[in-house]
Amino acid sequence: MDGHSDIRHGGCLCGAIRFEAVGQPGNPHACSCESCRRHTGAPSVGWVEYPSSMLRWTGPGGAPAVYRSSDYSSRAFCPHCGSSLGAIDDAPTVALLIGAFDEHRDPALRPDGHSFEDGRPAWWPDVAGPAD
The larger pLDDT score, comparing residue 126 to residue 23, is at 23
pLDDT tens digit sequence for 77-120: 999 999 999 999 888 999 999 999 999 999 999 999 888 878 88
Q: How far apart are CA 76 and CA 87, in angstroms?
A: 5
Residue 3, pLDDT above cutoff 80? no
pLDDT of residue 85: 97
CA distance 72 to 17: 23
- Which pLDDT score is estimated for 36? 87
**How does pLDDT run across 23-77, given as a tens digit for each residue?**
999 999 999 988 889 999 998 899 999 999 999 999 999 999 999 988 989 999 9
